[in-house]
Structure 1
């Protein structure tokens, strides 16, 4: 009887998590493609968002995307980078030539309908 209980317990420890049990602290299901957006205060699928930026100078065998979500008032831009957990919220800065958002070494610039993301003055993503 003891060996049967041990076998059952070992199986329970090795079995994968149940479907939908991969929710993050905000209730977003990663396995369904959802991540939490600070600006929308909701779970979103990044691949469904309108502003997608392509990696500029990739030495990898694939090209990564960065995703931008703008606040309703346009004063903030939420940046989702590949291989990063969570997001970074950039704040809009005064500029006469373009719409510019900044946070640390990141600068997001919008001219007409084109976006450019720079890291320490080097262009890393463009739309």
Structure 2
């Protein structure tokens, strides 16, 4: 009888410990859904890690960081400090096409040129290279910038910081 009681107690304790370690199925499902949501929020439909500043380049078919392209500032604010209001340009390997990233635009614009020295064009958009870049839509100049990649540092000619 003591052996039977002892076996019953051991079985009861092992089952109660096992139950304490197990999470309810609904809690496990919530955790899995949460992880999937985090993955989908963090990456766009092309797999670019948006939280790290990456965006998909249709032209180069890869994830890129915009600030590695040429920054064009709005004409009405040439000393623009807000990069979210700037346009960016990325070129393909032979520079006969340029991908235009406009602020708050849902899609990029691919401009092309047929001959070196001529502007890149798409519909009424023109990207003109002349001691930097000028972006026009129709007759209106919207953005301009030098030919530096990314944001240039202003205010000091010294090598010391």
TM, length-normalised to structure 1: 0.74
The whole-number CA distance in structure 2 between the counterparts of 1:106 and 1:71 is 18
Name the count of aligned residue pairs. 116
Match of 1:126 among 144, 148, 154: 144
SS in 2 for 1:31: helix
Larger radius of gyration: 2
Query: In proportion to residue count, which structure has more strand?
Result: 1
Judge which range, 115-124 or 30-39, deviates more.
Answer: 30-39
Q: Which runs of 5+ in 2 are unaligned?
A: 1-24, 146-161
User: C-alpha deviations, 1:47-102, integer Å up to 9, x for none?
Assistant: 232x11001126xxx6711000111112101100000123110011447xx43011
**Are residues 1:33 and 2:33 paired?**
no
The whole-number CA distance in structure 1 between the counterparts of 2:60 and 2:88 is 14
TM, length-normalised to structure 2: 0.60
- CA RMSD, 1 decimal: 3.0
Q: Which runs of 5+ in 1 are unaligned?
A: none
The whole-number CA distance in structure 1 between the counterparts of 2:68 and 2:130 is 22
Query: In proportion to residue count, which structure has more helix?
Result: 2
SS in 1 for 2:51: helix
The whole-number CA distance in structure 2 between the counterparts of 1:47 and 1:94 is 27
